[in-house]
Amino acid sequence: MKTKGHKAFASLRAGVVATVAAALVITPLAVANSAEAPTFGKRCTTEGVSTGQTTASLICTEGSNGRLTWQRVRLGSTNARPVATSTPPKGTIEFHHWRPEDRAVLQGIIDKYESRYPGTKINQVIMTSVDYTNLAFAKINANRKAAVFVTSRGGQFNQFFAGGLLADLSNQRFMRQNVIASALTPGTVGGKVYGLPYQSLFNNPLYNAELFAKQGWKVPTTWSQTLAFCRTAKAAGFIPFAWPGATRGNAGQIINSFLMNSAPDLATLEARILAVDTGRADLTAPWFVEIANKYKAMADNGCFPANPTGYNDTVAPADFAAGKAAIYPTGTFGMSTVTRLNPSMSGKMKMMSLITTDSRPLYQGITNNTFILSVNAKASATDQRIAASFISFLAQAENAQAYAVGTSQHVSIINVDYAANVDLLNTSDIMGKKLLLAPRFLFNNVNNVRNPMEDALIAITGGADVMKTLTDTSRTIKQGLSS
């Protein structure tokens, strides 16, 4: 009886939490942007913020008169409403991807697709992400039945494009009408769309909202506040940022935040990154030295755990999940790990912006679009039609929602409602901020530039001398690029 009552109370409590969270988020996300609720045509204060990603959402836009007002969001590439799935021919194709953890959710969607279109079959072929990185191109290139596959943003997508494996999907109506247009950038080359980046990731720090409330902390919104917060949280016995310096992949996520406000405008930032990526500029350039010094400042102010270079991405989410750390600076993709380690963290995580400037920031957060769905240009015409139909099925809001809720990933499809997953819901407010497509992935030379650069920043947090480390790493980068 006691257990039953306890369970009933727990579910009631969960329901109340979800309802409150839903109310907080569904209530226009940019309320803080204006004293009044956002209303079409009324004034707003911060350009670029929006109230969500549905066809009814509003965005703060500067008009020709210079005034900022709430305007209707044009999420897709056109104003037209989303289209239904295209009918496929009969046949069987393979769907290659790297997410074994999504197998069941995707199979559910595939079962639904196959029952709607009898005679058409989709077989999942799944590799681990490491195998996929190394072997997918060779396997798919030699397999014409691999009609649908995914690639990651940057190097892998470029490799498949160079290999002539990506069919042009620019004329598919669902690409223009069902997909958030800004999310298409990583799948676009020369104005043509070759892939649908299905997942919308947000590579910003997660914070323990319950811990912040208990301790009376405010989420820092400037660089000075961030360093002050670190000192306060550390003095209170907490790890301010559970930053996994021993695991390059996730340790490197924060470089996105450091880059996003490091230049006066996006064009300058892109030019600087390109210069480093091609060996025309060194890491000793003043703008990068400033970033490196900020890493050092974070270490000096106690932002990171003890021995940060030996603190790995197994320990970091565990500390965050156990309430020992206030912030887990990775991204929305880290939430499922945290809730797996401690289910009671569900509903307590929110997303913050890591602002590394004290002046007005150019951007408020990072987004990334990956898991890029493409059609194999070397598959038969029939199989390509099935593949395009299946992708259009995935691009239906109800199917994308099933995927999002089931896998705890935001998606780049219009009109998806995240209310059924409290963590997705709680972090959805980041979508309303002015976001930059993760600049970390503009470094295309992963082995010769990005990895050594990130290793250098990690070493600096461990006490290595800033200028010596950057000078040595610049030399390694130059030599690597010339090989």
Partner 1 sequence: MAAPAFALYSFLYLYPAVTNLLYSTQRWDGVTTPEFVGLKNFQNLLTNDDLFLKILGNNIRFSLIVVIFQTGFALLFATFLLKNTRTNIFLRTVYFFPTILSSVSVGLIWTFLYDPNYGFINAVLKAIGLDSLAMNWLGDARFSLYAVALTQVWFHTGQMVVIYVAGLQQIPAELYEAAEVDGASRWQQFKNVTWPMALPTTAVVVAYTTIQTFRAFDLIYAMTSGGPLNSSDLLVTMVFNTAFVGYKFGYAATQTIFLVLLVLLVTYLQRRVLRIDDGTKK
Restricted to residues 150-169, the positions that interact with partner 1 (CB under 8 A) are: 155, 159, 162-163
User: Binding to partner 1 by residue 447, rule CB under 8 A?
Assistant: yes
Q: Could you tell me the smallest distance in angstroms from the CB atom of residue 258 to partner 1? A: 19
User: Binding to partner 1 by residue 445, rule CB under 8 A?
Assistant: yes
Q: Could you tell me the smallest distance in angstroms from the CB atom of residue 162 to partner 1? A: 5
Q: Could you tell me the smallest distance in angstroms from the CB atom of residue 61 to partner 1? A: 41
User: Binding to partner 1 by residue 133, rule CB under 8 A?
Assistant: yes
* Binds partner 1 (CB under 8 A): choice among 39, 107, 307, 344: 307
User: Binding to partner 1 by residue 446, rule CB under 8 A?
Assistant: yes
User: What mask, x for binding partner 1 by CB under 8 A, covers residues 246 to 285?
Assistant: x-x-------------------------------------
**CB closer to partner 1 out of 159 and 380:** 159
**CB closer to partner 1 out of 203 and 445:** 445
User: What mask, x for binding partner 1 by CB under 8 A, covers residues 404 to 443?
Assistant: ----------------------------------------
- 8 A C-beta contact, residue 135 and residue 127: yes
Q: Could you tell me the smallest distance in angstroms from the CB atom of residue 473 to partner 1? A: 8
- 8 A C-beta contact, residue 96 and residue 372: no
Q: Could you tell me the smallest distance in angstroms from the CB atom of residue 104 to partner 1? A: 25
**CB closer to partner 1 out of 134 and 268:** 134
Q: Which amino acid is at 129?
A: S
Nearest by Cα to 440 from 452, 427, 429, 454? 454
Size of the site for partner 1 (CB under 8 A): 39
Q: How far apart are CA 11 and CA 356, in angstroms?
A: 40
* Binds partner 1 (CB under 8 A): choice among 57, 152, 257, 309: 309
**CB closer to partner 1 out of 88 and 308:** 308
Q: Could you tell me the smallest distance in angstroms from the CB atom of residue 349 to partner 1? A: 23
Restricted to residues 449-478, the positions that interact with partner 1 (CB under 8 A) are: 451, 455-456, 458-459, 462, 464, 469, 475-476
User: What residues form DSSP beta bridges with 207?
Assistant: 327, 350
- 8 A C-beta contact, residue 68 and residue 96: no
**CB closer to partner 1 out of 21 and 298:** 298
* Binds partner 1 (CB under 8 A): choice among 306, 343, 360, 381: 306
**CB closer to partner 1 out of 124 and 247:** 247
| Contacting positions for partner 1 (CB under 8 A) | 133-134, 137-138, 155, 159, 162-163, 245-246, 248, 305-312, 314-315, 445-448, 451, 455-456, 458-459, 462, 464, 469, 475-476, 479-480, 482-483
